[in-house]
Amino acid sequence: MNIPFYKPSITDDEIHEVIDTLRSAWLTTGPKTKQFEKEFSAYMGHSYSLAVNSCTAALHLALEAVGLKENQTVVVPSMTFAATAEVVRYFNARPLLVDCREDDFNIDVDDVERRIEDALKKGEDVAAIIPVHVGGQVGDMTGIMRLADNYNLRVIEDAAHCCPAYYRDDTTDVWKQVGSVGEISCYSFYANKTITTGEGGMACTNDRELIERMQIMSLHGISRDAWKRFSGDGSWYYEIIAPGFKYNLTDVASSIGLHQLRRADALHRMRTSRAELYTELLKGVDEIIPPFQKENRIHSWHLYVIRLRLSKLSIDRGEFITKLKEKGIGCSVHWLPLHMHPYYRDLYGYVPEDIPVAASLYNEIISLPLYPDMTDEEVHYVVDSIRDVVAGNRNAGL
């Protein structure tokens, strides 16, 4: 059997909408993108959404809109994708890399507090924090908002994995959609994310000034967007008010996004049932720790990350992945922590133990294939293969 790490779920609805757009002769940002933004705001419960060509662009615009300056510091987890920290470097600002919790891999609020205190003692100007909801499970936003209050931090949520994800503080509260307390939340529609436009992203906020700044900066710092300029209801006149970027999403991409969004709940249910089947089938495999499911969270199941109990195995994580690959199964690792990548390691002089939980988790984690159209048979095959690899590679000493 051949099971890829990810397969997007595309129906005739997406295909027909793209064809409709191509025939309409309006290919770039226009009515379909406006509609996508409107429906995304309604779905997520935000006042405003701005469609852009990646989540990385959304994060960059968010930091620009909150006024990040050169030499300021932004708290970023080490356990994340490149984008979360690189956008801080775009400003020549410093990402203060922090550790994660061992259970849900999300930011460890106590560790953040210690590292902020240290940074302040060294005279750093800590301006913002970018929590990442790893794999699609919302982190401790209550703890993060308390830190934000204490240290006067702007809060930008990297919700790349979270369309949709919900949380509440305890069982008597109503469910909140991800992004409901941060000032700006950013979503990814990259090909393997929960909903996709091929490449794409969204920046959402309830603050009118922030959305207006992001709108302007997403299109060359021009005070009016192209659609209004060139369509009948707009004027030809525009002004450049800042050196902006070119981050707008095309109507071709939004055509895909509109139908992916309308299917978001269905896609979520499909991923959830795949994840539940994995967890059920992995029961009793002592060498594997299934994903931790925090109380009061509705997981998006963008990722299904298992941990290996290395002391019970004679092979390491890399060899485990190779053996699954030999059986036709595509796995991934999320992630090599940022402080262990040459760029951050050399720039700030990190050793792995500086951020110990992330460094040690890295040796144990494997992201299994998980996509909406994955069949029961495929999930069974992956788990049977895991059982085979475990059985053939038990630690002889135990």
Ligand X SMILES: *Cc1c(COP(=O)(O)O)cnc(C)c1O
Applying CB under 6 A, the residues found at the interface with ligand X are 54-56, 80-81, 83-84, 132, 158, 160-161, 188, 190, 201
Could you give the CA distance from residue 306 to residue 68 in angstroms, rounded to a whole number?
Answer: 36
Give me the least distance between CB of 58 and ligand X, in Å please: 8
In the complex with ligand X, the residue whose CB is nearer, 211 or 249, is 249
Residue 229 has phi, psi (to 5 degrees) of -65, -45
In the complex with ligand X, the residue whose CB is nearer, 54 or 137, is 54
In the complex with ligand X, the residue whose CB is nearer, 188 or 300, is 188
Give me the least distance between CB of 235 and ligand X, in Å please: 33
Residue 181, Cβ density class (10 Å: 0-12 exposed, 13-18 middle, ≥19 buried): middle
Give me the least distance between CB of 160 and ligand X, in Å please: 3
Give me the least distance between CB of 197 and ligand X, in Å please: 9
Give me the least distance between CB of 273 and ligand X, in Å please: 23
Give me the least distance between CB of 186 and ligand X, in Å please: 7
Give me the least distance between CB of 47 and ligand X, in Å please: 22
In the complex with ligand X, the residue whose CB is nearer, 138 or 282, is 138
Residue 154 CB partners (closer than 8 Å, separation 6+)? 66, 68, 127, 128, 129, 148, 183
In the complex with ligand X, the residue whose CB is nearer, 56 or 177, is 56
In the complex with ligand X, the residue whose CB is nearer, 96 or 338, is 338
In the complex with ligand X, the residue whose CB is nearer, 132 or 253, is 132
Among 136, 73, 74, smallest CA distance to 303 is for: 136
In the complex with ligand X, the residue whose CB is nearer, 55 or 267, is 55
* Contact indicator for 49, 208 with CB cutoff of 8 Å: no
Give me the least distance between CB of 40 and ligand X, in Å please: 14
Give me the least distance between CB of 132 and ligand X, in Å please: 5
In the complex with ligand X, the residue whose CB is nearer, 55 or 306, is 55
